[in-house]
Amino acid sequence: MNIASFLSARVARSALNAARFLSPFRLVAFVRSFARLPLSASALVIGHWSLVTFTELRAAEVPLASATIGDFNKAFSAGTLTSEKLVSLYLARVAAYEPTLNAVITLNPKALDEARALDAERKAGKVRSPLHGIPVVYKDNFDTFDLPTTGGFYGLKGSIPPRDATITARLRAAGAIVLAKVNTSEFASGGAMSSLIGQSHNPHALDYTPSGSSGGTGVAIAAYYSPLGYGSDTGGSIRGPSTSNGIVGLKPTHGLLSRAGIIPLALSFDTGGPMTRSVYDIAISLNVTAGEPDPRDDATQKSVGKVAKDYTAFLKKDALKGARIGVARDFFGQDPEVDVTIESALAILKAQGATLVDIKYPPILLSMRGELYNAIRRPEFKAQIADYLATLKPGYPKNIDDLLALSEKVSAVTPEGYWPNPGRLALYRAESKAVPLTDAGYLAAKTHGMAFVRDTLQALIEKEKLDAIVYPTNPRRPALIGEAPAPGAADTRVS
């Protein structure tokens, strides 16, 4: 197991009032019944149960909620499902639940045409990959050459970048279909709220947050808009929405996947990664998006010689036998329901052969993490967002001062439907005052602070002979929308 890769799974409330839950829109693909692949191979999929139930159907019908990408491929091969039909079913769900969930910024108007073309390829004997004909949703900070990429900011409405993000391009080349661009915390910072379309809602309980910043992707996967989505993570932005929406998400090791063409927040931390409903689908997607180093992203050089040929090969039922897993107790004790959920999952890990070792992080590591993060993140955003904005066409903002000025203009919902975003506005103000990347304090934090965190964790891992460390992605249940997070909530980052 690679400790730098974190799989987030739900840490959610099991007894929420059923009236608060959005009833599923029962759409099914009429395909033959087939067995689901085992999902127990991932040690860090914890507390993963369904809050949405579907009526039992005849053996010849399979609800969208129950099928993995592997299952869809079996149906494609059997001739009982087409990509056009699959895309149609997902588009129907979007139509049924938007704008109630308010997750979608842009739908791809050519999605069905692309599906038909890929069906024709399949019929002619060409299958590009297991993602051939599979729809994908993207957080709207992933560049798409044919659809706007806004970062959730109203000032970038209509901005079409010159080329795809590398992840987007690799998925398209593998036959995946861009179904939609979905909501994001504005420029990937904060809750699931953007000035472009406003607040997204948790599909399990509409008055609760889906968390950010990849909240739109989390909502879309949980609401069955698509079997696969992509988000980005700087300080928890894949992991948080994955736990709050009850799905599976992966923050990859830094450098495993290219960040080129993802609007940057802080490249020292930024990663892009998959969000799905099964560990199998995470592995399938990595087979496409991990690979050769990207000349557009120097960080990918770190993964040379370390990329697996087939990540599904690691999904083994006995994978936990003999594994030593550290349990980071620093993040327990804030919510009894979360603790009970995690303890139940830990018991399952132990029953499957893992040895659990309670650990505590050094106090200095916990006390410095917030300040260290901001000492790097704010200066990097100020500089790196300007680099990104310079690639866009004329007429769009070019630097942090432009973003701040435009944000200050929206103090109430506008006739165009733009939303005030006071939380992000406060961050723009702080970022505008950030030091340059030549500043000695920034350089010390980046060079020595990050090394201290890495070396401290590595020493702990070696001392206890650990294969992985587990902890609740969020030590508290999702908050009500508009409710201030409790101290320490959603802050389990140490890198």
Question: Which residues carry out catalysis?
Answer: 139, 213, 237
Residues contacting 18, CB < 8 A, separation 6+: none
Q: ∠ CA 9-451-431 to the nearest 5 degrees? A: 75
Q: At what angle do helices 363-389 and 422-432 cross, to 10 degrees?
A: 90
The answer to whether 139 and 184 have CB atoms below 8 angstroms apart is yes
Q: Name the DSSP class of 234.
A: S
- Residue 462, both tokens: 């070696």
Residues with Cβ within 8 Å of 405's Cβ and at least 6 positions away in sequence, in order, are: none
Residue 240: name the closest of 22, 479, 16 by CA.
479
Name the nearest CA neighbour of 450 among 269, 257, 240, 298. Answer: 269
DSSP string, 1-44: --TT-EEE-----SS--GGGSPPP---EE-----PPPP-TT-TT
**Mutual orientation of helices 279-289 and 166-173 as an angle, nearest 10°?**
100
Q: Is 229 helix (H, G, I), strand (E, B) or coil?
A: strand
Q: What is the DSSP string of 156-207?
A: GTT---SS--HHHHHHHHTT-EEEEEE--SGGG-SSSEETTTEE---TT-TT
Distance CA 456, CA 362 (A): 8
Rounded Cα distance, 465 and 483, in Å: 41
How many angstroms separate the CA atoms of 304 and 387, rounded?
A: 26
Choose among 371, 398, 405: nearest CA to 383.
Answer: 398
- Segment (H or E) for 143: none
- Going by their DSSP bridges, the two strands 228-233 and 135-139 should be labelled as parallel
Contact 300, 225 (CB under 8 A): no
**DSSP-assigned states of every residue in 352-374:** TTPEEEEE---HHHHHHHHHHHH
